[in-house]
């Protein structure tokens, strides 16, 4: 099975979050880079999925990123006190 790169995480914790999200959708994944153990090195960790599931994995990760952006905008508006209520 050929694995293809779908995401680069800023560290092992973020990579595990991505893997958990993909796993919840039934997509197997693996990581390369960083290190495991009690003291992981800071650095980029690449996430790979089977080639035939790459399109679905990217769509899931993009949808999650867009939802995070929407949440961040709502939190900023709330913090600014402009009366915006989320969700509207």
CATH number reported for the structural domain that contains residue 53 in this entry: 3.30.70
Residue 26 pLDDT greater than 70, yes or no: yes
Residues whose CB falls within 8 Å of the CB of residue 37, separated by 6 or more in sequence, listed in order: none
**Interatomic CA distance for residues 83 and 18, integer angstroms:** 34
Tens-digit pLDDT profile for residues 39-64: 656 678 899 999 999 999 999 999 98
- Residues in Cβ contact with 88 at an 8 Å cutoff, skipping those fewer than 6 apart: none
Number of structural domains (the chain) is 1
Confidence at 80, pLDDT banded by 50, 70, 90: very low
Residue 87 lies in a domain: no
Range of the domain at 14: 3-79
Structure tokens at 34: 């960083």
- pTM of the predicted protein model: 0.72
In the predicted model, what is the mean pLDDT of residues 62-88? 58
d(CA 61, CA 23): 12
Write out the two tokens for 80. Answer: 């600014």
């Amino acid at each position: 099975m050929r694995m293809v790169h779908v995401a680069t995480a800023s560290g092992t914790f973020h990579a595990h979050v991505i893997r958990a999200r993909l796993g919840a959708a039934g997509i197997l994944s693996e990581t390369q880079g960083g290190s495991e153990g009690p003291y992981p090195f800071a650095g980029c960790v690449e996430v790979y999925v089977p080639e035939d599931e790459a399109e679905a994995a990217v769509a899931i990760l993009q949808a999650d990123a867009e939802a995070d952006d929407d949440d961040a905008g709502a939190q900023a508006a709330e913090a600014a006190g402009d009366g915006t209520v989320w969700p509207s």
